[in-house]
Amino acid sequence: MFTDKDTFKQHFQEQFVGQLGKPLKEATSEDIYKVIGSMIREEVGKFWAQTNTSYRESGEKQVYYLSLEFLMGRLLGNNLLNLGALNVVRAGLSELGWDLEEIEEQEADAGLGNGGLGRLAACFMDSLASLQYAGHGCGIRYKYGLFEQRIVDGNQVELPDYWLQRGNVWEERRYDKRVEVSFWGRVETREENGRLVFDTVDAEGIWAVPYDVPLIGFGGRHINTLRIWSAEASENAVRQGMQAGGSYYKYLDYSRTVESITEFLYPDDSQYEGKLLRLKQQYFLCSAGLQSILRTFDKLELPYEELPNKVAIHINDTHPTLVIPELMRILIDMKGYGWDEAWSIVTRTVSYTNHTILSEALEKWPVVMVKDLLPRVYMIIEEINKRFCAELMEKYPDQPDRIAQMAVIHDDQVRMAHLAINGSHSINGVSQLHTDILKEKEMRSFYELYPERFNNKTNGITHRRWLMHANPELSRLYTESMGDGWMTNPYELSQILNYKEDAGFRQRIQQIKLRNKQKLAAYISHKFDTSVDPTSIFDVQVKRLHGYKRQLMNILHVMHLYNEIKANPSIDRVPRTFIFGAKAAPSYYLAKRIIKLINTVAETVNRDPQVRGKLKVFFLENYSVSLAERIIPAADISEQISTASKEASGTGNMKFMMNGALTIGTMDGANVEMYEMLGAENMFIFGLNAEQVNNYYQNGQYSSAGVLARDSRIAQVINQLIQPGPFCTHENEFEEIYHSLISHNDEYFVLEDFADYARAHRDIDAAYRDTENWTRKSIANLAHSGRFASDNTIHEYAREIWKLAEKKQLSMMNI
Ligand code: 26W
């Protein structure tokens, strides 16, 4: 169907009329999108079935990646790419008068995730399928994804993201595979053949209905599954309700309450909120996911002792930790295992990734909530805690504080991270620095107890989406220069180091960057109705808005640059365009104020004739995967400026590197590993390191007011937050920001790091003037980025955590 342009065109035309019942000349771009989507589905259907059959027949170990978030973005372009059909379809459509990019725009951007953690899950799905591992995603089919952000008068306004409004061509509803999930009820205990039996009675059972999305591996032959679950009222409950005299309206109400479980994604990133509905979502995913995992396992007709050899269950942060007690419950209550046997099976099956050390992100559920909603599961958690504390008591008989600090249940709360560590055989951090901090500080006592469980798996990104699809011109240059081996072995990108001294190659790199910048400039110009200079430095910070990520430091520095130009209009500066994109959690007040500040600064700067041609600032609304794909290939500078120790890894940093941007950053997360490869000459490093930050927190000797007293540039900027002037028109507008920095002593060391940050920016200004050398640095970044391809990360997970059989190295020959 996609072998060549003419075959494609013929099929497409037939399918179009056949499916839509109207002539092609009446087509809308949405029609075209849907027809191509369904053609892809048809094309891969056979291979999807084949992949599943081969799994069943070979009995190979299956990995299930449980995650409350999968930030997939659009699939059309990537699916065509992995099918090897991108060029054929582009050319065919073009002959029919359509532009593929415009067709891609028709697809809703599947935003079933908040940020880093959800996007990592999506990159992993692509690598698992492309490397032909038996790895599947298990998630929730939220009716509403992450909110759509609009900027109104400089403020963030949230709108619902009804991404399913126009249907979803990729999913297959599998009602026959639905399972029942139970909440509430009470536990009754009885004795049967000399052993205790636990029955949960009066529980509420609802349906979990799976929707399967094919995950098309590179080459188009290996197709894994992302199974996302949707909550629906069960006919049983309805019938019972009706028989008990309930009205039809009551039924409608009831069914809406049930559906509300999978209604929306919680928009909080790194901020724990103890909402009952969220706990329901978590258990819903764990219970439904496990039932379907075990149903597949049961087909092998093996005893459950074999489960850890045939199944790996990976939990993406603590959100799906309830799989641990839930699997215990199934093994003990339903399969008749004793505690110790069951515990051994569970801990050998489950593994856990930690994605943050921020204490405010650690999940702790109130005991009463868990007990009411999941009475039997809670009993099991209690027993896990009891046995764990007994083990600790034996090991540390005279350290009651240590035991209290490590317990799973404490202060009437269930600590999910402790449960996750306790119930799994592997705990990994997501960058070397992050893992070291977990081992030495945050989880030190657990590391001392179970050192063999802790390991590092530095994050990665899929080079198929973030290079091949997002930056086709650069990909073409690579293939022309060194063949296509890099596509299946991204480490081969290092070969371009050989071209660093080739002036012609450098010029090509410069041209590609310029063209990417021109495209982004056109997009911004159109949105803001203003001109954007594509030869200025594009300096970009795009990521969730959070105090520790320090968008505030970035915008304060922009204010400082503005002040400098105003004070000395003839100052020699390379023109800069600062670009921001960030969503704030709807309840995160300070983050929203920072968005307002960025927009206020942008307004002032962009309309001031005195800085015209030198400085521009844009806040691009509704940052999302598809917007990232536009922005990142056009960046010269990547802002990775978190307070050292706070950013677990970062993955945006890797995407920018893979597209030739130079990083200005702190020694935090995976920046450290980038620095080890690139050295000081290819990165702009500044600020406190993790140890210095930690020392400040411990000895309390930091005073932000002291910094102000020392540095008049910062003092000027800080005063501009509260005094009427270019950036403060309404009184008190940025008062809280001011207080966070001064009265609350600047929790994230914005002021402390400011001077060195400004110095690093001056270094950028100086370096950019030497175009050839700049390009050499850019090439060094491109060349080393292969290390951060998620294919490498997934190979490590497969080998060291999931214990899968080695895969043979793929090559373009067998794709
Ligand atoms: C329940 C509230 C909540 C929601 C999300 C707590 C914690 C989270 C995530 C752990 C936040 C997150 O996305 N962390 C990011 O994970 C990325 C992938 O590993 C890392 O690259 C980022 O550094 C980390 O902030």
pLDDT in tens, 133-171: 999 999 999 999 999 999 999 999 999 999 999 999 999
Catalytic residue among 314, 546, 549, 576: 549
The pLDDT assigned to 107 comes to: 98
State how far the Cα of 641 lies from the Cα of 684, in Å rounded to an integer.
10
Computed from CA positions of residues 804, 808, 813, 814, in that sequence, does the dihedral angle turn out positive or negative?
A: negative
Q: Which among 180, 181, 183 has a CA at the least distance from the CA of 373?
A: 183
State how far the Cα of 681 lies from the Cα of 118, in Å rounded to an integer.
33
Residue 623 has pLDDT above 80, yes or no: yes
Atom 6 of ligand 1, residue of closest alpha carbon = 270
Residue 811 has pLDDT above 80, yes or no: no
Region 445-450: mean pLDDT is 98
Mark whether 614 is an active-site residue.
Answer: no
Q: What are the pLDDT digits (tens) for 489-522?
A: 999 999 999 999 999 999 999 999 999 999 999 9
Catalytic residue among 415, 543, 576, 616: 543
Which amino acid appears at position 683 of this protein?
M
Domains 59-74+109-459+799-814 and 495-691+754-788 share a fold: yes
The pLDDT assigned to 799 comes to: 98
Residue 243 has pLDDT above 80, yes or no: no
Residue 681 tokens, joined: 């000459």
**What are the beta bridge partners of residue 180?**
207
The pLDDT assigned to 71 comes to: 98
**Domain ranges (residues) in the chain:** 59-74+109-459+799-814, 495-691+754-788
Q: Which among 787, 480, 782, 756 has a CA at the least distance from the CA of 632?
A: 782
| 269 CA to centre of ligand 1 in angstroms | 6
Contact 113, 65 (CB under 8 A): no
Residue 809 has pLDDT above 80, yes or no: no
**Which residues does a 6 A CB cutoff place in the pocket of ligand 1?**
114-117, 120, 268-272, 317, 355-356, 361, 363, 430, 459, 647-651, 669
Separate counts of helices (H) and strands (E) for the chain: 34, 25
Atom 22 of ligand 1, residue of closest alpha carbon = 650
Q: What are the pLDDT digits (tens) for 25-80?
A: 999 999 999 999 999 999 999 999 999 999 999 999 999 999 999 999 999 999 99
- CATH superfamily label, 495-691+754-788: Glycogen Phosphorylase B; (3.40.50.2000)
Mark whether 651 is an active-site residue.
Answer: yes
Residue 1 has pLDDT above 90, yes or no: no
How many Cβ atoms from other residues are within 10 Å of residue 10's Cβ? 12
State how far the Cα of 496 lies from the Cα of 65, in Å rounded to an integer.
35
CA dist list (Å): 556 to 229, 549, 715: 44, 14, 11
State how far the Cα of 592 lies from the Cα of 737, in Å rounded to an integer.
10
State how far the Cα of 589 lies from the Cα of 250, in Å rounded to an integer.
38
Using the atom order of ligand 1, give the atom closest to the CA of residue 430.
19
DSSP sequence for 446-459: HHHH-GGGEEE---
Mark whether 543 is an active-site residue.
Answer: yes
CA dist list (Å): 147 to 256, 717, 763, 797: 21, 32, 38, 32
Contact 60, 105 (CB under 8 A): no
Residue whose structure tokens are 């954007």:
532
Residue 368 tokens, joined: 């009463």
CA dist list (Å): 307 to 65, 342, 348, 421: 16, 11, 9, 20
State how far the Cα of 603 lies from the Cα of 726, in Å rounded to an integer.
10
The pLDDT assigned to 248 comes to: 83
Mark whether 321 is an active-site residue.
Answer: no
Contact 138, 210 (CB under 8 A): no
Best probe residue, ligand 1, of 278, 281, 355 (max atoms within 8 Å of C-beta): 355
| 596 CA to centre of ligand 1 in angstroms | 24
Q: How confident is the model at residue 249 (pLDDT cuts 50, 70, 90)?
A: confident
Atom 21 of ligand 1, residue of closest alpha carbon = 650
State how far the Cα of 204 lies from the Cα of 447, in Å rounded to an integer.
40
Mark whether 464 is an active-site residue.
Answer: no
Largest CA distance in the chain: 92
Contact 717, 758 (CB under 8 A): no
Residue 416 tokens, joined: 């999910």
How many Cβ atoms from other residues are within 10 Å of residue 219's Cβ? 18
| 28 CA to centre of ligand 1 in angstroms | 39
Q: Provide CB contacts within 8 A for 227, sequence distance 6+.
A: 136, 137, 138, 139, 210, 211, 212, 213, 289, 292
The pLDDT assigned to 74 comes to: 98
Using the atom order of ligand 1, give the atom closest to the CA of residue 120.
18
Contact 647, 693 (CB under 8 A): no
CA dist list (Å): 785 to 430, 496, 635, 657, 789: 17, 11, 15, 6, 7
Best probe residue, ligand 1, of 269, 273, 656 (max atoms within 8 Å of C-beta): 269
Atom 12 of ligand 1, residue of closest alpha carbon = 117
The pLDDT assigned to 319 comes to: 98
The pLDDT assigned to 806 comes to: 84
pTM of the model: 0.98
State how far the Cα of 776 lies from the Cα of 770, in Å rounded to an integer.
10
Phi, psi of 671 (to 5 degrees): -55, -35
Q: What are the pLDDT digits (tens) for 218-235?
A: 999 999 999 999 999 987
Q: Which among 700, 693, 743 has a CA at the least distance from the CA of 718?
A: 743
Contact 630, 466 (CB under 8 A): no
- Quickly name the fold that domain 59-74+109-459+799-814 has: Rossmann fold (3.40.50)
**What are the beta bridge partners of residue 423?**
none
The pLDDT assigned to 246 comes to: 77
Residue 372 has pLDDT above 90, yes or no: yes
Q: How confident is the model at residue 270 (pLDDT cuts 50, 70, 90)?
A: confident
Reduce the DSSP state of residue 152 to 3 states and report it: strand
The pLDDT assigned to 425 comes to: 98
Q: Which among 612, 611, 615 has a CA at the least distance from the CA of 566?
A: 611
Q: What percent of the chain has pLDDT over 70?
A: 100
Mean pLDDT over the full length of the chain: 96
Residue 240 has pLDDT above 80, yes or no: no
The pLDDT assigned to 730 comes to: 82
Contact 642, 550 (CB under 8 A): yes
Residue 495 tokens, joined: 């070969």
| 113 CA to centre of ligand 1 in angstroms | 10
CA angle 280, 123, 510 (to 5 degrees): 140
Residue 83 has pLDDT above 80, yes or no: yes
Q: How confident is the model at residue 217 (pLDDT cuts 50, 70, 90)?
A: very high
**What are the beta bridge partners of residue 685?**
665
Q: Which among 73, 5, 89, 79 has a CA at the least distance from the CA of 40?
A: 79
The pLDDT assigned to 630 comes to: 98
Give the chain's length: 815
Mark whether 221 is an active-site residue.
Answer: no
The pLDDT assigned to 362 comes to: 94
Residue 810 has pLDDT above 80, yes or no: no
Catalytic residue among 74, 655, 776, 787: 655
CA dist list (Å): 728 to 588, 601, 733, 812: 21, 9, 7, 58
Residue 425 tokens, joined: 């055989």
Catalytic residue among 651, 663, 666, 775: 651
Q: How confident is the model at residue 236 (pLDDT cuts 50, 70, 90)?
A: confident
The pLDDT assigned to 731 comes to: 77
Contact 459, 654 (CB under 8 A): yes
Interstrand relation of 350-353 and 311-316 (parallel, antiparallel or unpaired):
parallel
